[in-house]
Amino acid sequence: MTNAHGRVSSTLELNGVSRFFGQVKALDGLDLKVNPGELVALLGPSGCGKTTALRIVAGLEYSTTGSLTVNGVRYNETPAHQRDMGMVFQSYSLFPNLNVTENIEYGLRARKMAARDRSKRVAEMLTLVELGSKAKAFPHQLSGGQQQRVALARALAIEPTVLLLDEPLSALDAQVRGQIREEIRRIQIDLGITTLFVTHDQEEAMSIADRVGVMNHGKLEQIDTPIELYTNPSSPFVASFVGLANRISGEVSAAGVARILNQTISLTRAVSAFALGTKITAIIRPETLILTSENDPEATRGLIALKSFLGPLTKLGVAVEGSPLIHINIASSDVKHLEIGQHISFKVTASEVMAEHA
């Protein structure tokens, strides 16, 4: 695939990649394909193996088994400095003794690029990250966001086959994080560069990636578009990890159906094989709960214990006997009359829910 700048995008593939640290399996047979020009985010809790996977791709860590290819060429034995991959680190990692220009041209000097071409490329990169006025500044004279933009420009200057982003926004404050995130996405789409992005922040992954891979215990639990991942999680772990979810007790009342609160609700196909009478924990999104009349036969009564205004939505925390606090997200305009301490009735609107053994 060729982008608007005439650059060819690459395909990155990991097949059965594992990494052991002694007896510990940090990565367990990872299969992943990142298509040309695609941005894939690896999401997961600490220690799930996402950073190990990225470091194996970068050549900073070796895999115990499996193969790594870029455009079909095996990269397992290629040392890091010969991989032509641009990497942006969480801690910026700019060279403190070099100014912005020198940092950006570092990789170009390593490739022995002619001075004139180097200057031209640096100017392009500075324009791309909108830091032309800081060309002669040193890293300690820049804010965190500016340093990360320089790091991005430095990684892109070498025209890498694959761009690797290792939690590049973690060290930034919330407002700057949002801006840099959008900037990374804009540049990535503009250059059409194949990108692997690692993060533990689900909002970050969902908002920036074409596809998100959720990892747990060294394995890829599910890889899908953000919307699919949210609406059709393949496992209870993915359902719990992606988005907010209530964990509500229930019991299987018939094949593929469970009694949850005062309702009978179908279980998703992925977990519908529970035996009759099995105690389960249903995973129910706050936005699938609605207020209803107390005369509704499916209604559950509860006491408002918490009310948080979130702008267009308000989050209610409802105390129900025998259950942890249940969160309901409702349009703020519909809950003006509700106060903490008031009783309400609500029910689940989802046609089917994800569940796991209690």
Applying CB under 8 A, which residues contact other proteins?
Answer: 58-60, 79-87, 89, 91, 93-99, 106-107, 110-111, 133, 137-138, 140-143, 145-146, 149, 154-155, 158, 164, 176, 179-180
Contact 305, 340 (CB under 8 A): yes
Picking from 137, 145, 197, the residue whose alpha carbon sits closest to that of residue 167 is 197
**Which lies closer to other proteins via its Cβ, residue 181 or residue 285?**
181
Shorter beta-carbon distance to other proteins: residue 109 or 279: 109
Shortest Å, Cβ 60 to other proteins: 5
CB of 55: closest distance to other proteins in angstroms? 8
Alpha carbon of 78 to those of 27, 51, 173, 209, 303: distances in Å? 20, 19, 36, 28, 61
- What residue ranges in the chain does DSSP mark as E strands? 12-21, 24-34, 39-43, 65-70, 73-74, 85-88, 162-166, 194-199, 211-216, 219-224, 246-254, 257-260, 263-267, 279-284, 289-291, 300-309, 313-319, 326-331, 343-348, 352-357
Q: Write down the least CB distance from residue 123 to other proteins, Å.
A: 18
Residue placing its CB nearer to other proteins in the complex, 127 or 342: 127
Shortest distance, position 41 Cβ to other proteins, whole Å: 19
Give the residue with the Cβ less far from other proteins, 87 or 239: 87
Q: Nearer Cβ to other proteins, position 98 or 291? A: 98
Rounded to a whole number of angstroms, the minimum distance from the CB of residue 279 to other proteins is: 48
- State both tokens at 263: 């309702």
* 141/308 with CB nearer other proteins: 141
| Residues 6 or more apart in contact with residue 337 via CB below 8 angstroms | none
Q: Report, in Å, the least distance between residue 14 CB and other proteins.
A: 18
In the complex, the smallest distance separating the C-beta of residue 135 from other proteins, rounded to whole angstroms, is 11
Strand-by-strand arrangement of the 300-309 sheet: 289-291, 343-348, 300-309, 313-319, 326-331
**Cβ proximity to other proteins, 85 vs 299, nearer residue:** 85
Cα dihedral 63→238→225→50 (10° resolution): -20
Q: Which is nearer to other proteins, 114 or 275 (CB)?
A: 114
Which residue stretches of the chain are H helix?
Answer: 50-58, 100-104, 106-110, 115-128, 144-157, 174-191, 202-208, 226-231, 236-241
Least distance CB 71 / other proteins (angstroms): 18
Please state, in angstroms and rounded to a whole number, the distance separating the CA atoms of residues 26 and 51. Answer: 10
